[in-house]
């Protein structure tokens, strides 16, 4: 069986992304870290296959992606669609939120994440 989590060749890229979270990622991370949301452990900038996801909860096979303005065009939408399909084909659930949603409606973002927990 091939390794799909945290491939060694992505270590430096993941570290760089963890050190330079976007404002929306840093804000949401304060609510996900240290098992603050439903007692679930999330990791930031985790790699699955050759994709680096914003947040990952292994016990739920749940991926959280935050999208800024660079995602608001046809090419990016197509790339995100392929990425989500690839990850879902591996058995993961992918949730996407716009950055502004995290800032403007955090409670609904957290509720949607919790609603996707399979176990309590």
Task: Tell me the pLDDT tens digit for each residue of 45-89.
Answer: 999 999 999 999 999 999 999 998 766 778 888 999 999 999 999
Residue at 26 is within a domain: yes
Residue pointed to by tokens 């990791």: 43
Both tokens of residue 94?
A: 């992918």
CA distance 75 to 118: 32
> What is the span of the domain harbouring residue 61?
8-115
Coil vs helix vs strand at 120: coil
Residue at 1 is within a domain: no
Task: Provide the CATH number for the domain around residue 23.
Answer: 3.40.960.10
Both tokens of residue 34?
A: 């240290």
CB atoms within 10 A of CB 99: 18
Residue at 120 is within a domain: no
Residue at 2 is within a domain: no
CB atoms within 10 A of CB 41: 14
Please report the pLDDT score of residue 52 as a whole number: 97
Which residues does 53 contact at the CB level (< 8 Å), separation at least 6? 45, 46, 47, 63, 64, 65, 87
CA distance 72 to 92: 23
Q: Is the pLDDT of residue 1 over 70?
A: no
Instruction: Please count the structural domains in the chain.
Output: 1
Predicted model pTM: 0.93
CB 4 within 8 A of CB 49: yes
pLDDT tens digits along 16-46? 999 999 999 999 999 999 999 999 999 999 9
Residues 94-107, mean pLDDT to the nearest whole number = 97
Both tokens of residue 100?
A: 């502004």
């Amino acid at each position: 069986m091939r390794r799909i989590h945290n491939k060694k060749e992505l270590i430096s890229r993941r570290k760089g992304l963890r050190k330079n979270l976007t404002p929306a990622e840093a804000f949401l991370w304060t609510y996900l870290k240290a098992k603050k949301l439903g007692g679930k452990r999330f990791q930031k900038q985790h790699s699955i296959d050759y994709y680096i996801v914003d947040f990952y909860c292994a016990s739920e096979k749940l991926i959280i992606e935050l999208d800024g303005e660079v995602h608001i065009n046809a090419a990016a939408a197509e790339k995100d669609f392929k990425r989500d399909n690839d990850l879902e084909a591996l058995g993961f659930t992918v949730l996407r939120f716009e950055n502004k949603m995290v800032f403007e409606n955090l409670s609904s973002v957290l509720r949607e994440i919790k609603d996707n927990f399979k176990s309590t």
